[in-house]
Chains A and B, each alone.
Chain A
Amino acid sequence: MLADSIAKLQQQALESLAAAETLPQLEQLRIAYLGKQGEITALLKQLKQATPEDKKIIGQLANTAKQSISAALLAKQKLLQQQQLNAQLEQETLDVSLPGRAQATGSLHPVTLTEQRVVQLLGQLGFEVAEGPEIEDDYHNFAALNIPADHPARAMQDTFYFDDGMLLRTHTSSVQVRVMEQQTPPLRIITPGRVYRRDSDQTHTPMFHQVEGLLLDSSTNFLELQATLRTFLEAFFDCKLALRVRPSYFPFTEPSAEIDIAFNRHTRVVSAEVNADTEWLEVLGCGMVHPRVLQAAKIDPEHYQGFAFGVGLDRLAMLRYGIADLRLMFEHDIKFLRQFTDLEGFL
């Protein structure tokens, strides 16, 4: 009799559980069947009046029923929880194709990026950065560099003057003079900075940027100058280059040279081979430091020698990034500026 009730109850409970659709319903069923006031408990209470034998058999039956209902309840609970989570996940689905929440991205000026690259590359050869004033005196910009007052080389560099005789430096070589006055060889320095010449047209701006290098020791010769600059230029452009070193003239170096790199006139890209499409492009001026420049800095040219070189940072930047018009550098157009986001060498 009691056994029948148990079987019926189990049957009924399992059916209800199977029909339950929500977790609250399931909780109600748990209370109804397995709770303290639940039906299984009520059945078990009736056992008190049964015989010990019946107690044993019925007890077992009741326990089995209880376990089976609990197991079914648990399984159903898991199922419903899973369904609920699935529903929640589905509801939370985003359109992942929408763009990310954007922050503004800025940029560094191509000349800054180029300067950093040059400083880092030459730094590996032991060249340290030195800086100096942009408003200079005649002595440091000209006289100490073997450019006396009526020298025709002054006409090569149209100079901005001030009423007191000071001037805007026409090259960063002036910094070399200041370093030589304060330090003794061996020296390896580079001097990046702004320079000014009174010139403005398609290929000239009245302000532009240079980096000059100076190396002084007791033995460095012209062949080493050539090797250093080849190493540097190939590292800068990150490829083998065809170079042409040809004689030139600078008052502050002797012998002097200019270095041209081979450039394909159609693709406008530097190249390692020389052929019919080659155009030579001047990138760098250099030479052995003139003895008069050393003497002006009270350095004995019989004991010390070395080389100096100068390169236009704007020119290098234009070549590296394929910029055709120098004036873009100083027009501040965000459409131009925002292209230089790589921050290379800064991070």
Chain B
Amino acid sequence: MNLSYAWLQAYLPGLKLNSAQAAEQLTMLGLEVDAILPVAHAFTKVVVGQIIAAAPHPDADRLQLCQVDIGDADPLPIVCGAANARNGLKVAVAQVGACLGEKQDFKIKKSKIRGQLSQGMLCSSEELGISESATGILELPADAPIGKDLRLYLNLDDEVLDIDLTPNRGDCASILGVARELAVSQQLRLPQPSTTPKPPSLQQQCAVNLVEPSLAPLFLTQVIQAPAFPHMLPVVWQQRLLRAGLRPVHPIVDVLNLVMLEYGTPLHAYDAKKLQGDLQVQSAVAGTKVTLLDGKSYTLQQQDLVVTDDARVLALAGIMGAEAVAVDHTTTEVVLEAAYFSASQIARSARAHSIHSDSAYRFERGVDYSMQQQALQRVVEMLQQLVPEMASGPIYEQISAEHLPQRQPVVLRQRQISRLLGFRITDKEVEHTLTGLGMQVQIEQRSANPENKTHQTGQVESWQVIPPSWRFDIQLEVDILEELMRVYGYQRLQSVALAWPQQIQQVNTRRSLQSQARCLLAQAGFHEVRSYAFVDSKLNQLFNPQHQPKMVANPLAKEQAAMRTSLWPGLLQAAQYNLNRQHKQVRLFELATCFVPTTDTAEIEQSLHLAGVIVGSRQPQQWSVAEEHVDFYDLKAHVEALLAIYLDAPVTDIAYSCFEAPGEGELPAALHPGQSARVMWQKQHLGYIGKIHPHCFDIYDLNPHFKDIYLFELYLDRLPLPPVVCYQPITSLPSMRRDLALLVPESLRVKTIIEFILNFAQVKLPQAKLQVLPFDQYQDSSLGHLQKSLAISLTFEPTSRTLIDEEINKFIQELVEELQGSLKAQLRGM
């Protein structure tokens, strides 16, 4: 909310603060001042002038040669390019020597423009820094005094306070409200609003029927009449409006706005000649269409509250009037409205129609229901200053007292002040502060005086406090505590030492494992990203075709509507972003919540996923390493390392490709079917690893230069917490190693062979612990079709006694026979 500081000073005459001090005070009272804005640039030597002759420039089509009277003996010749420069107009004249511009770096000099002498400049409001843009030069009122310094005439040394009001302080959306706060903190007397209306000179009244008294419990009307209303406001009033961010539209509307700014009471005016019959305040008929003052057409719903006459809807109550009954420059008779509407009614209705009006802003925060009469009187008083012959009728009043907001007394206990705030405030300061804020304060209870044992003179234990009609945020004892502390001053609060009993926290194992996982990936070269949780549903579909994602009903963009069921869409976009920026090695990961619909119910499982993408070089570019690209096994190593944080299972146990284990469920369509796998552990599906499917490159518009993109995703919530390490005795007995080179069918999986060997050893050589590791695998034409060569090492670790060569040799011999017989694996010679 913007307010002229000069206006505030005029309202609160005792105020001795400058604008910066006042801003600091208000901020510390909870009315945060975001900015103090000058109302104009800091120019000098600009005065009011009048164009007394305007003729076309002899040598330029768009220029005029003006003679301008600024009160000196001779008029000034000034060349002006503005189309609105015309004879008789009062204008702002920058004299020779004036410095304009934000930094006063534009100096006005005596000059010749296309051969014509020009001694000064006629200014636009933009050139003076009064407004951000302007067409043509500033037009001053006809009564502007010639020769007067413009700064004085328009009070341009004023400043605007931009106050960021919190929603509980609707009472401060006015000069009166802000002045009240400053008066309390500065110990000043707040002038009470007072008006001296002339007695009614008209008979006319405009009757009102409150059909919905719970939504509109108070409604005042008054009829005014004048032969004509002027076209312009006095310049001081105009400036107040402009400085509050309102544009002058019509003097009646402008005066209503000024009174709203002054008292915080929204008002409305109808052209009386356009009304038919009495007013009704009632619920709208659903489907009714009405064009409001913003020129837009609205379709009303039953929950809207409207003001109607016999013929039509006159206003969306408390929010905006209808265009059809608006005052205009032919208006001579007006019905003024001052009302109180239910805050939640206005909030609901304004939100439903997305209307932001100054009236709705105030009503939905709560408007003082005791000010309406005063406000109407103030309007009449101000209009009569403009049009002395204006006549006004008596105020017509409809009140449903039982539906007005009720002010219940709130009990404030003195001990609660120190209990909750941590310091004492004296009884006197409590009473002084609350009374200053307009509350009625009565002592409810005193403790017995230890000297004379009577309660009359003892300490106050509690008060009864009744909040004023303008406060809607005082309902509980804590609300009063806040008022006390606010006025006491947060800056006066002492610092205290913390003296809390300490307790040792439990280790949050899940979080600490997540930290380990993050660290592991960062140390393996991954960069962590954080991407939006809403993604393009098309992309999400690609990665997770079996799940229909939950859709945001009001997304910012269509591409940000699907709640992700996988982290891959975001990661792939992040990878793409970097690949397009010449990064040759991209490794990214994200650890975040995904929103996965459960298969049997409509519920959404909000589960934590950890996903990563790798693409490009295996190692950073460097002198000693030939550039190689990452492959599936690089990815798998990362996943195995991650799983090792959680599981103590052998790593060979975790992956099954879907080609090899049909029936294990579909792979996401985004994955290459031959180079991808589900991650399984004890029949639990823990995630996926794999290469991105070639068809994604078209769908995703991926950079075709990088075909080999590998992804993993793990469902962290499904992983168990690792057990505490259980120490295994170590042996100093020597172990033995044998290597086997086998020629095996191409389709035979290494895992099958290893498991076969381990099972065989368990039966045949229980006295040793066997470790089997593949150390080479290759295929070429010399091996024959569908064959591959596999080299594995067998390390035998004795458990109880030293192993001897003979038993190992015998075992190997039997194993080789068995491998040939069962798996068609032939020994290739060592």
Residue of A nearest to B528 (CB): A109
Kindly provide the distance from the CB of A192 to the nearest chain B CB, expressed in whole angstroms. Answer: 10
- CA A255 to CA B418, docked complex, whole Å: 13
Q: A135-B550, A163-B553 are in contact. List 17 more A-B contacts (CB 8 A).
A: A106-B522, A106-B525, A128-B505, A135-B595, A152-B364, A155-B351, A156-B167, A160-B553, A162-B552, A205-B532, A221-B419, A223-B422, A226-B495, A247-B485, A254-B478, A333-B577, A334-B583
Q: State whether A126 touches B502 (Cβ < 8 A).
A: yes
- CA A108 to CA B590, docked complex, whole Å: 10
* Residues in B neighbouring A125, C-beta threshold 8 A: 498, 500
Residue of A nearest to B346 (CB): A150
Check: A123 CB closer than 8 A to any chain B CB: yes
Find A134's partner among B418, B521, B573, B593 (CB 8 Å cutoff).
B593
Given contacts A150-B344, A221-B421, A226-B493, contact A246 B531 (CB under 8 A): no
Q: State whether B28 touches A246 (Cβ < 8 A).
A: yes
Check: B343 CB closer than 8 A to any chain A CB: yes
Kindly provide the distance from the CB of A268 to the nearest chain B CB, expressed in whole angstroms. Answer: 19
- CA A305 to CA B418, docked complex, whole Å: 13
Q: State whether B518 touches A223 (Cβ < 8 A).
A: no
Q: State whether A108 touches B606 (Cβ < 8 A).
A: no
Check: B598 CB closer than 8 A to any chain A CB: no
Q: State whether B476 touches A134 (Cβ < 8 A).
A: no
Q: Restricting to A8-63, which residues have a CB under 8 Å from any CB of B?
A: none
- CA A249 to CA B525, docked complex, whole Å: 45
- CA A215 to CA B502, docked complex, whole Å: 14
Check: B682 CB closer than 8 A to any chain A CB: no
Find B606's partner among A134, A227, A332 (CB 8 Å cutoff).
A134
Find A109's partner among B167, B506, B530, B593 (CB 8 Å cutoff).
B530
- CA A245 to CA B493, docked complex, whole Å: 9
Check: A211 CB closer than 8 A to any chain B CB: no
Q: State whether A255 touches B497 (Cβ < 8 A).
A: no
Given contacts A247-B486, A249-B169, A331-B577, contact A116 B515 (CB under 8 A): yes
Q: State whether A246 touches B30 (Cβ < 8 A).
A: yes
* Residues in B neighbouring A224, C-beta threshold 8 A: 422, 496, 498
The interface stretch among B146-154, B311-319, B617-625, B736-744 is B617-625
Check: A144 CB closer than 8 A to any chain B CB: no
Q: State whether B490 touches A223 (Cβ < 8 A).
A: no
Q: State whether A248 touches B533 (Cβ < 8 A).
A: no
Kindly count the residue-residue contacts between A and B in the assembled complex, taking CB atoms under 8 Å apart.
231
- CA A222 to CA B521, docked complex, whole Å: 43
Q: State whether B478 touches A290 (Cβ < 8 A).
A: yes
Q: Restricting to B547-565, which residues have a CB under 8 Å from any CB of A?
A: 550-556, 560, 563
- CA A333 to CA B829, docked complex, whole Å: 53
Q: State whether A207 touches B27 (Cβ < 8 A).
A: no
Q: State whether B29 touches A334 (Cβ < 8 A).
A: no
Q: Restricting to B496-527, which residues have a CB under 8 Å from any CB of A?
A: 496-498, 500, 502-503, 505-506, 508, 511, 515, 518-519, 521-527
Q: State whether A256 touches B482 (Cβ < 8 A).
A: yes
Check: A168 CB closer than 8 A to any chain B CB: yes
* Residues in B neighbouring A206, C-beta threshold 8 A: 532, 534, 556, 560
Q: Mark A88-128, 1 if CB is under 8 A from B, else 0.
A: 00000000001101111111110110001001000101101
Check: A231 CB closer than 8 A to any chain B CB: yes
* Residues in A neighbouring B485, C-beta threshold 8 A: 222, 247, 255
Check: A5 CB closer than 8 A to any chain B CB: no
Q: State whether B506 touches A207 (Cβ < 8 A).
A: no
Count how many chain A residues have C-beta atoms less than 8 Å from C-beta atoms of the other chain.
82
Find A330's partner among B482, B518, B519, B532 (CB 8 Å cutoff).
B532
* Residues in B neighbouring A133, C-beta threshold 8 A: 606
* Residues in A neighbouring B54, C-beta threshold 8 A: none
* Residues in B neighbouring A163, C-beta threshold 8 A: 551, 553
* Residues in B neighbouring A198, C-beta threshold 8 A: 554, 556
List the 6 closest pairs (A to B, CB-CB), nearest first. Answer: A104-B525, A247-B30, A223-B422, A249-B166, A221-B422, A332-B574
Given contacts A152-B365, A246-B27, contact A101 B550 (CB under 8 A): no
Find A222's partner among B420, B527, B551 (CB 8 Å cutoff).
B420
Kindly provide the distance from the CB of B53 to the nearest chain A CB, expressed in whole angstroms. Answer: 50
Residue of A nearest to B504 (CB): A126
Q: Which residue among B423, B496, B577 has the maximum number of chain A CB atoms within 10 Å of its CB?
A: B496
Q: State whether A291 touches B476 (Cβ < 8 A).
A: yes
Check: A309 CB closer than 8 A to any chain B CB: no
Check: B348 CB closer than 8 A to any chain A CB: yes
Q: State whether B420 touches A221 (Cβ < 8 A).
A: yes
Check: A329 CB closer than 8 A to any chain B CB: yes
* Residues in B neighbouring A333, C-beta threshold 8 A: 577-578, 581
- CA A214 to CA B631, docked complex, whole Å: 47
Q: State whether A109 touches B529 (Cβ < 8 A).
A: yes
Kindly provide the distance from the CB of A180 to the nearest chain B CB, expressed in whole angstroms. Answer: 17
Check: B140 CB closer than 8 A to any chain A CB: no
Residue of B nearest to A307 (CB): B420
